[in-house]
Amino acid sequence: MLGLILAAGRGSRLSKLSDRLPKSLVNINGKTLIQRQISLLQQNGISDITVVRGFEKEKFHHNDVNFVNDDEFEEHEQLGSLIAAESKIVNDVLILFGDILFDSNILNQILNSKDDISVAVDLDWQESYKERTDNPIELAGKILLDDQKIIQLSEKLPIKKKDFSIGEFLGIIKLTSNGSKILREYLKKLKYHSGRFHDADSFKMAKLTDLLQHLVESSVKIKPVFVKGKWCEIDTPIDLERAKRLFQ
């Protein structure tokens, strides 16, 4: 299995903490965020790791991973970074946002999924936003669910909706070999898309939730994996302090 980490962004919301440092290189109790991700993957048998880097790319120094350079990172959003590494999406792939930390429990739960395309979902997500006072809950990458079925993925979803569950997308996607093939086929078709693309004003500015929503609307099965464990996203100074408490 390949571990594909999307780490091209600069982390502007971390303010001076990442002024000239990629977000994934911020220090968390003596180790960078990406060092912690790489170590976790390696400890769980994923040794083939590729990092998509962009902002201040020369500051990444890791001898045990491969790199893909996203030199146009300022011109697009998350999906553009994934497309930069499209050639790597072959066989079994685990795609990760470069700004999340999670424990082995969560990793093992998503790795155990046998479905072609699986996404990690936290149904207890709202609790963390009680601490994340500088990160509006409305900006969360939300997933609307009817039992085990994903209905919609969007930041624009409400926090609650009667008769449905709403979870948060962690930023972890697992693909089987067939799932990788499906994803590549859709990316090939979408490269010529014009106009709005789901939540995004254009395909160029799309996030991974926009791509997943397109797959849902195209009747591609996406399996929600309801994970339990310790995890956090690091967007803001308060997020960073929270990460330091959770991950010693």
CATH number at residue 62: 3.90.550.10
pLDDT at residue number 21: 85
Distance set, CA 84 to CA 34, 88, 108, 155 (Å)? 19, 9, 27, 24
Collapsing DSSP to helix, strand or coil, 53 comes out as strand
Q: Is the separation of the CB atoms in 86 and 102 below 8 Å?
A: no
Give me the pLDDT at residue 232, please.
96
The parent domain of residue 227 ranges over: 2-246
pTM recorded for the entire structure: 0.96
Q: What is the pLDDT of residue 18?
A: 54
| Residues in contact with 126: Cβ distance below 8 Å, sequence separation at least 6, in sequence order | 137, 159
CA–CA gap between residue 94 and residue 119 (Å, rounded):
10
Low-confidence ranges of the chain (pLDDT < 70): 12, 15-19
Q: What SS3 string covers 83-106?
A: HHCHHHCCCCEEEEECCEEECHHH
Distance, CA of 59 to CA of 126 (rounded, Å): 34
How big is the chain, counted in residues?
Answer: 248
Task: Please give the C-alpha separations between residue 222 and each of 94, 113, 153, 234, 242, in angstroms, as whole numbers.
Answer: 14, 11, 11, 25, 30
Number of domains in the chain: 1
